[in-house]
Amino acid sequence: MKPVHPDDTPRFWRDAALPFIEARAIADGRKVCYSRHAHDHFSIGAITAGCSTYLHEQSTFRVESGTVVLMNPGDVHACNPIDNQAWSYVMLYVDTQWLTDLQQRIGFDEAPDFQGFATTHSRDIELFRALLELYRLLVDERIDTRRKQSAAEAFFTDLQQRLNPAGRPDRGSHPGLMRAAQFIHDHCTEALKLEDICAAAQLSPSYLSRAFKRHYGMTPHAFLVNRRIQFARRQLREGRLIADVALDSGFADQAHFQRAFKQHLAATPGQYRG
């Protein structure tokens, strides 16, 4: 299958009338590399050509054309090229609350919170084709908003029925680490030091560093940078100046922000804002 776009420029699609969903496409995955990261939203993508590595939490898979990949909110992941082999993909990023509301509307689960998917990737050809069709419909400017929303609802309703969400693997409860993660979440735009996080978590620096990475898949610092990038994404979608977003997100300067943003999204802040 040919790549969706003829060049290697990261392409993002969003529509103010459909704020719950965002899309992107990469025609040549050799040009982009990701560090380990996580999102606030649910993500689902389709490998449209070639193959790549797919790191999900503590597992690593080889995924190829025809594969659908899924990431629950908070799941640490990364997809990267294999030995400079060409590959391409499309991705959809879906607001967690919108998807939670849809789960409840279709009577799939009565729990008030989002029910994550246990499936990390699928070779279901019908699901793959349906995802590509939804992507193409969303980015088509000739299609009206009502039809796009109906198509999105139909796709994600079918997704629930195909891949019964049994919940993500349970990381277990650790009050100290949860306090650390919540403190980082609440203060991510501030100039945090490891000592600040340790004080909030009531844990020693050596223990926190080891246990946090084992529990969340990222060091406290990486978790902090990831939170700042998620904050910056929301600001950029509102059209704010990149320099202002860099400072407001807690980065020392715009150059540091640019580097971190590209590591997490394989696109510059300017490409993402559009």
Q: Where are the domains of the chain?
A: 11-162, 175-273
The pLDDT of residue 161 is 83
- Token pair, residue 88, equals 């391409």
CA atoms of 217 and 13, how far apart (whole Å): 29
The pLDDT of residue 5:
42
Q: Which residues pair with 238 in a beta bridge?
A: none
In b/e form, how buried is each residue of 113-140, taking b as 16+ CB within 10 angstroms? ebbbbebbbbebeebbebbbebbebbbe
Task: Kindly tell me the number of DSSP H helices and DSSP E strands found in the chain.
Answer: 10, 8
- Enumerate residue ranges in the chain where pLDDT < 70: 1-9, 108-111, 164-172
Nearest to 75 by CA among 89, 99, 47, 54: 54
**Contact criterion met (CB below 8 Å) for 169 and 118:** yes
pTM: 0.83
Determine the Cα–Cα distance for residues 108 and 102; give it in Å rounded to an integer. 9
pLDDT at residue 216 in the model: 87
H-type alpha helices, the chain: 96-105, 125-139, 145-162, 175-186, 194-201, 205-216, 220-237, 242-248, 254-265, 269-273
From 2.60.120.810, 3.40.710.10, 3.90.1640.10, 2.40.110.10, which CATH number describes the 11-162 domain? 2.60.120.810
CATH no. for 175-273: 1.10.10.60
pLDDT at 150: 94
Per-residue pLDDT reduced to its tens digit, 85-134 = 889 999 999 999 999 998 888 776 556 788 899 999 999 999 999 999 99
